[in-house]
Amino acid sequence: MLGCFSFPANMKNSQVKKTTLDNGLVILSETINYVRSVSLGIWVCAGSQHETAKENGISHFIEHAVFKGTKERTSRQIALQADLLGGGLDAFTSQDVTHYYIKALDSHLPKAFDLLADIVTNPTFSETELEKERSVILEEIKMVDDTPDELVYDLFASSFWSNHSLGRPIQGTAESVSNFSRAMVVDYFNKIYHPKNILIVATGNVNHEHLVDLAYRYFAHLKAGNYLPIETAPQINYQVTVHKKRSLEQTHIILGAKAPTLVAPERYASSILSNILGGGLSSRLFQTIREEHGLAYNVFSSIEAFRHTACLSIYLAVSNQQVRKAIDYVLQEINNLKEIPISEEELSATKEQIKTSLLLSADSISGRMSSLAQNEIFFGREISLDEIISEISQVKIEQVQELAQDIFQKDKLAITILSSNDKTKLDLNSL
């Protein structure tokens, strides 16, 4: 999977512009004049990794709460107007950011901007509505607990990045969410939601000057805040953890290792390594675990990358009786990558797979909007599609092997197992 870099637009057929208001608000646009729609996003540069243990989940809580009513609209009026604009209004919270977005016809941009800006700048945080949304989020937390392929990732993160905010669930815990007071929510909102910490991005059939006028109308009066979220590098814990959960028909497994960070030059080789391991139907893990031995329906690798740390992880779910065998085959494929250089044919095919995914992603204006924003947030500049493809093309066989040897060391591999079986010890000497 392509988790270590974003997918920017093809600059040959588009135009990107950037404006910064006096209060620090950044506005980015990419004009694509052959479409009739606009994808508009408001990015708040704070997520779960910027929270204290007491605040765990508050970014996600606020992301929900702002939709429950503003000074201008009730929650029903927000929903009704969103539906009239095409129903493309949504939001999400990650470890890094909170993102609000809407997709609408180009002629509806003023209405879409008015709705999105109202949600982000004028929430009322009614006590009654906060209590309703608290109940919704508590149910969401229970839903994750009932979804083992999601739960195992939270359990892995809590072990791999223990004693750090990255190890806490984005949605928070039942205890932390239950303790959020209205005053705490308002204080955190006022601290985080200020112009220097907000990015407005639009792609599609949009005029940049018009977008800046809209941003000025709704955001220029806001004062630049002083607080900017701080990120720290976590200490990584390489250990085997086994969690028991009743009524599971399968055992869910994650194996993870430290990978190059989001901003490291080696991220391109890391992406190629991950794709060779478990990035598609022809990947080594899929062919070995599923096609050759029939041990799992799904097996894949992915990269979760941040500024100061990253993890290359392998996920699979197998029957309770096949855990040791499945892990042995995974370790075997890892060892093969460490000991035997990949062929030119495999490297070429993997590069072509990544390039194709990048080019296909450019067909989505929403994807292009996200890419434009993420490159600004994490790199402070526009990164062209041509630049990424060039970097991928330059990765050599020895770089992939050296990276595998560096990150897949026997004392630097973490494993999390979620099973209905009793806890067992696993021998990692086979690495």
pLDDT value at residue 156: 98
- State whether the Cα torsion 343-344-345-351 is positive or negative: positive
pLDDT at 108 over 50: yes
- Kindly state the average pLDDT of the residues 363-368: 92
- The domain made up of 11-219 has a fold known as Cytochrome Bc1 Complex; Chain A, domain 1 (3.30.830)
pLDDT value at residue 2: 40
Residues in contact with 222: Cβ distance below 8 Å, sequence separation at least 6, in sequence order: 23, 25, 121, 194, 195
- Kindly state the average pLDDT of the residues 324-348: 97
pLDDT at 430 over 80: no
pLDDT bin (cut points 50, 70, 90) of residue 5 is very low
pLDDT bin (cut points 50, 70, 90) of residue 7 is very low
- Kindly state the average pLDDT of the residues 189-197: 97
pLDDT, tens digit (0-9, with 9 covering 90-100), for 145-157? 999 999 999 999 9
- Kindly state the average pLDDT of the residues 171-187: 98
pLDDT value at residue 424: 55
pLDDT value at residue 115: 98
pLDDT at 9 over 90: no
- Kindly state the average pLDDT of the residues 92-110: 97
pLDDT at 338 over 90: yes
The set of catalytic residues is 63
pLDDT value at residue 136: 97
Domains of the chain, residue spans: 11-219, 240-419
pLDDT at 202 over 50: yes
* Percentage of the chain modeled with pLDDT above 90: 89
pLDDT, tens digit (0-9, with 9 covering 90-100), for 229-279? 999 999 999 999 999 999 899 999 999 999 999 999 999 999 999 999 999
pLDDT value at residue 15: 84
- Kindly state the average pLDDT of the residues 365-380: 94
pLDDT bin (cut points 50, 70, 90) of residue 362 is confident
Mean pLDDT of the chain: 93
* Percentage of the chain modeled with pLDDT above 70: 94
pLDDT at 286 over 70: yes
pLDDT value at residue 427: 53
Q: Quick count: other Cβ atoms within 10 Å of Cβ 300? A: 20
pLDDT bin (cut points 50, 70, 90) of residue 421 is confident
pLDDT at 389 over 90: yes
pLDDT, tens digit (0-9, with 9 covering 90-100), for 111-127? 999 999 999 999 999 99
> Which CATH number is associated with domain 240-419?
3.30.830.10
pLDDT value at residue 12: 46
